[in-house]
A = this chain, B = another copy of it.
């Protein structure tokens, strides 16, 4: 139920279309929020029905019409209320990372395969980090108050990516050692002494 807060948060900075909200989620704040475009369009319609936002259809000659949404007072009040409420009931984090799921089961597959995955995960995060840094240097040259939160969260993202790639390298080195010793994916029966 906090998709709407994410949307309101974006709209509070400047009015936007469903399309541009989707784009922002996709290219900028993937590290803490994501949503599918159909979901965003539907939510925006619902929010307008509830009087939280208001749309204005802009006619364009070179492109199809677009609907620009802006936050209404009621929406701003709701957003502020959410921001201020003490998060007693632990907010649903719902981490669901299939990559880590895979790693947790790596004893079931080939060790070289596992290392290949780790290498690609590492590259993914390295390049993601690079992108964020580039985004920072473009959008966060001169900080104003509105951008301050984004400065903090983009720094979070950089550290997160750093942590990921460091961990990948660490895990790879650990796997390499185990491979040398032949502990993994080999003769698993020698360990069970009796059962």
Contacts and interface: CB of A to CB of B under 8 A. Distances in A.
Interface of A: 2, 5-6, 9, 12, 29-34, 79-80, 83-84, 87, 91-109, 113, 117, 144-146, 148-150, 152-153, 155-156, 159-160, 162-163, 166-167, 170-171, 174, 178, 183-185, 188, 191
A185 to B, nearest CB: 7
B108 A79 contact: yes
B91 A113 contact: no
Contact of A103 (B91, B106, B149): B149
Most chain-B Cβ atoms within 10 A of its Cβ — which of A96, A105, A109? A105
A107 to B, nearest CB: 5
